[in-house]
Structure 1
Amino acid sequence: MGLYLDENVVSNINILNSIVRRDLTDYENNQLFSKKIMDSEEDFLNTAVLTAWMTFYSHFTNERKFLDDNTQFNQESISDYVKFNADMYAKDKIQFLSDLIRVLYELHFWTGKLRGEGIVSDEFLTLLENRYENLEDKTTQFKYIRENLAVALVQWLLKSQNFSEAKGLIKNIQEKKESFIEEVTTLKVENLNEIDLKETEAIKNINDNFSSIKNEIRINKESVDASLKNIAESLIEIKELEGRVQDLKSEYNFVGLSSGFNKIKEKKELELRNIEVNYKNLFGCIFIVPVIITVLHLVTPAVFPKDLTVLFLALPFLTIEMALIYFFRLSYLEAKSIRTQLVQIDLRLSLCSFIDGYVEYRKKNNVNIDKVLEIFDSLIFSPIQTNENNIPSMFDGIEAIAGLAEKITKK
């Protein structure tokens, strides 16, 4: 287990962090190379210590295993000086700063990854050397770190067991590589011979089968041509059938609804024929009665009396004539109403055969059909107008005759 993974060392470093932060909290925002800091010895040292410590503790907190793996040289060389604790900090800040920067320099040397690289730069190390290297009773290493630590790290790496194992591995890989190349060369020759043999056999098989395949392709082509001809003929027949189906679709569209309207139409046409016969007969009676009376008067004038008794003879004929005129009017209006109904029925029959094609047309042109169907429903299923309110009832005619008789009696 590495030095910085040991529980005691971890505990001491965390305690030391609390002390450093407490003592040097006023220097957190200071810049190392500012003129104010450079002029004050105390401010410069405290700022340098705090900056180096914050850089170390950041790696210690966030990537401890990474820090431990890349500071093995200092852990082996000066293990007692890099187990940072409160006593080391309190005893000598300059020595503490020297050991701290040595650890950070090694981390940066191996990985190139350091939070705040300025703390191990040659400029800063030279500045520290000029200030603290020649002080009495101080064993600082700022010059050694700048000039010799990199060489020491490389020498340590070259002498390490891991490097020896790496060299052995490279040598072993080289030997395996030569052996592998030799095996590959042998296999290549064998495989090339086998490939040539198989290629010759494949070419022979292809030549043997080429004629057979060519004949088979020709036969299949003839079969496909015949099939395409049949398909083309079938397409023509299908198009003709499609046209017939469209005609039948238009003819039998809404066949149930059309059948109902046709029955109503036949019934109304029969009624119209009967009514036309009736009102024609009534018209004949209305017309022939005055003609007969006129002819009798001209041929035999003695038949009609010359006094007021003629009124009693004329009154029945007049009454019958008025009744015939009334019923003639009723028949005529009823015939007119039926003709109106037949026109409406013919309109509905036409719509039944037309609406389906019209809806399809609007769908193809992306036009909304909801309103069309709504109007179609309202028209098809609306009641057929008969104009019955305009036809006078039988009792209305009786009342008119009674009123006329009452006026004649009073006179």
Structure 2
Amino acid sequence: MNLNVFQVDIDRFVDEIKLLPDVNSEYVSIVVDLISRWETISRSAPYVCETQGEGFASNVSRRGSAANELKERLDWVAFFLACAWREQNMRTNTLASSKVEWLFSYFNDKNLELCDEVRARASYVNYLLPANVASNDIKKSLIELEEKKKSVSDHASKVSTVLSDADQRLTSWLKQVDVYESRLKEYRSNYNFLGLSHAFEGLIRSKKNELRIDVGILTIMAMVMTAIPIAYSIVKSVPDDLSKALLFYAPIVGVEILLVFFFRIVLRNYYSRKTQVVQLELRHGICAFYESYVDFTNKHKSDRSFDRFESLIFSGVVEESGKIPTTFDGLESIIASVANAMKGKS
């Protein structure tokens, strides 16, 4: 309560009570002094101001009262001040001044000089007021506690919502990560087979270049083997006598035998490289089939019909055509497995 609004009424009320006859002058002076200090005490007596402030303002601002009515107004204002200072002492836990103590002793329910109404007010100041102040504080504390509890509950609900949204986003991100992981594995597998295919292509090109070299060497050696006796016959005339003719060709026979020996070596290498090219081309073609082959074998884990096929694909490249596994052995095993699987479904 801001008492500056009632300052004029307070000054007039003070002047009026000072002129009351048959009233204890000390009683009046204490009331006047406590009213002058009300601005300070009003801040520490919120309960009394809230419940009795309007009655205090009404008794102070009322005009034209008779002496007995003015005495009742004085007692009511004194009662209000006693209540306010009682609440102030409760909240600050300080000792009351001598004037306040005098006012408390005046409002004594055992004071026989007081009328019944004032004695009831004295009981309120000494007993009911402290209980009401404590009860009001407890109620306010409970209300604040409920508000804080509700605020905490609201914050917890918001946090739960945020965590739920974050969990959903995290789950969605994990699903995307799984998709990306599967795609990366697929790409890695494809790139691995692509690298293997490129490696086979490089080997095939290398072997074909070696084949071309072998063909060139064989061609040159064949031409040399044919040209040597012809050129030798042209340069030197062949004797008519058989024994002399044998002696005539004896020098080049050794050369021809040596050339034939090397010709056979080169020819054997040619056939060996040709065989290797066939095997490498077979493996190069199978690289495109390998991924589907792995999926099929995983679905038929107990089926061992792919053993010979795997031995064909992953075996080393042999150099002799007679030692090459039969190509159709592996293909026949695949056809048999597919046929059995189709029969089982039907």
Fold match, TM over 0.5?
A: no
When normalised by structure 2's length, the TM-score is 0.35
